[in-house]
Copies of this chain bind each other. A is one copy, B any other.
Amino acid sequence: MTTRIVELRRGILKKNDELAAGLRGRFTSAGVLVLNLVSSPGTGKTAFLERTLTALRAKGAKVAALVGDLETDNDARRLASSGAPVRQINTHGICHLDAEMIEKHLTGWPDVPGVNPATLAGLDFLFIENVGNLVCPSSYDLGEKIRVALLSVTEGEDKPLKYPTLFNSADAAVITKIDIAEPCGFDRDLALKNINEIRPGIRIFETSAKTGAGMDEWLQYLADQRSAR
């Protein structure tokens, strides 16, 4: 049974990789920078992304978001308050997004002036908020340029060691909720050491969606990454 599962899983991941490669080509042609945000449930992906979308829109960037959850459209409604077009993907029991789900939800966007709804040409950034899960999303390429692993100060500094695949496959790490680092007894040095142990030299942002701390550095990184395409 286990051997069959391993073989079948390999086949699924291979098919997903092929689809993701196709998506990556489409995103590159359209000139849109795509990011895939992965973390535990409750790390604060949605709050962080809401603040990011609002700030980017204020700077005149054209942004959109896809958000994955097993159930509810709570997160899409929260993100839509930024004014950006947002589509909810309900996975109904599946613990991660895959490339096929992304492909299916790339059409049907609301009209955004200057953006071609079919090709996404004219869009600057597309953010994908993954299902809250530190395990399975690590294995599914969504065609993103940048994979972001998020970790809140409430979660324990050893998460990178316990979930190495995610942190090892990430391009950037974001520590969230630093406004409550003190009451949580967060050990900053240990967290940074553990992230660097799994992914040496990875760019790390220390942020609070509540106070805005660290957001300037994050937004500068986004602008740099977009220029570097």
* Cα distance A131–B95 in the bound complex, in angstroms: 14
Knowing A41-B155, A155-B41, the reply to whether A180 touches B183 (Cβ < 8 A) is yes
Cβ contact within 8 Å between B1 and A15: yes
Q: Which of A26-34, A67-75, A215-223 faces chain B?
A: A67-75
* Cα distance A152–B154 in the bound complex, in angstroms: 9
Contact of A40 among B93, B132, B177, B183 (CB under 8 A): B132
Q: Which of A42-70 contact B (CB under 8 A)?
A: 42-43, 69-70
Looking at the assembled complex, report how far the CB atom of A54 sits from the nearest CB atom of chain B, in whole angstroms.
Answer: 19
* Cα distance A212–B11 in the bound complex, in angstroms: 49
Looking at the assembled complex, report how far the CB atom of A116 sits from the nearest CB atom of chain B, in whole angstroms.
Answer: 31
**Closest chain B residue, CB of each to CB of A47:** B156
Q: Which of A105-113, A119-127, A158-166 faces chain B?
A: A158-166
Knowing A71-B161, A133-B133, A180-B183, the reply to whether A1 touches B11 (Cβ < 8 A) is yes
A21 at the interface (CB under 8 A from B): no
Q: Which residues does A use to contact B, with CB under 8 Å?
A: 1, 4-5, 8, 11-12, 15, 40-43, 69-72, 74, 93, 95, 131-136, 152, 154-156, 158-159, 161-165, 177, 179-180, 183-184
23 sample A-B contacts, Cβ–Cβ < 8 Å, listed by A number = A1-B12, A1-B15, A40-B41, A41-B134, A42-B152, A42-B155, A42-B159, A70-B164, A70-B165, A71-B162, A71-B163, A71-B164, A72-B161, A72-B162, A74-B158, A74-B161, A95-B135, A133-B134, A154-B154, A154-B180, A179-B183, A180-B180, A183-B183
